[in-house]
Amino acid sequence: MFNHKVNEHVQLKLLEPRHADELYQLSDSNREYLREWLPWVDQTHSVEHTKDYIQFGMNQYASNSGFQAGIFYHDQLVGCIGLHQIDWANKKTSIGYWLAAGYQGKGIMSNACTAIINYLFGELHLNRVEIKAAVQNSKSRAIPERLKFVNEGVIRQAEWLYDHYVDHVVYGMLREEWKDFDAHTSNK
């Protein structure tokens, strides 16, 4: 199973059925906060819905097409990070993530994304990683900007969000750029 220690505070673990109650409670208690940018919130009405999501992630991992991991901060589940799907023919994927409101601003998501990107480029030997975020979602956009992803433009009306379309900014990172960025930051 995928299990990655990010640092002394943060660990990423493949979501398993045993996490369903905890994950549902976390998303339910952050429902209004998450609903602003995530279209799945209104369809998550029970632990059973959460179990279905976890099973999807386990199937994704078993078929080598990605994964869905819980972000654990001091052994407490505080959010999720995962891959939408790995495109092995083109050696690329995109990352999605969310973090409970009370855990924002602690560097948790930047550290989790860095660990995932290192894994994708270093272990899986992918060539490209994307992160997409709604134009107005400044908190989500701050992550790829902080990690020096390239802003590659806007996809107009990319997602239906409850009652309106939102445009997405597409950020991209190539393996060769990440090596350069990683080397520069480790020398400081």
For helices 108-122 and 175-186, angle between their N-to-C axes, nearest 10 degrees: 120
Tokens standing for residue 186: 């480790």
> For 19-38, what is the mean pLDDT?
94
Q: DSSP letter for 87, please.
A: B
Tokens standing for residue 46: 């029970």
Question: Does position 15 have pLDDT exceeding 80, yes or no?
Answer: yes
Give the domain extent around 48: 3-186
Length of the chain: 188
For the whole prediction, is pTM greater than 0.95? no
pLDDT at site 185: 47
Tokens standing for residue 70: 């819980």
Q: What total of structural domains would you count in the chain? A: 1
CATH classification at residue 138 = 3.40.630.30
User: Over the chain, what is the mean pLDDT?
Assistant: 92
Instruction: Convert the pLDDT of each residue in 58-104 to its tens digit.
Output: 999 999 999 999 999 999 999 999 999 999 999 999 999 999 999 99
pLDDT at site 180: 58
Question: Does position 39 have pLDDT exceeding 90, yes or no?
Answer: no
> For 34-39, what is the mean pLDDT?
89
Residue 83 bridge partners (DSSP):
95
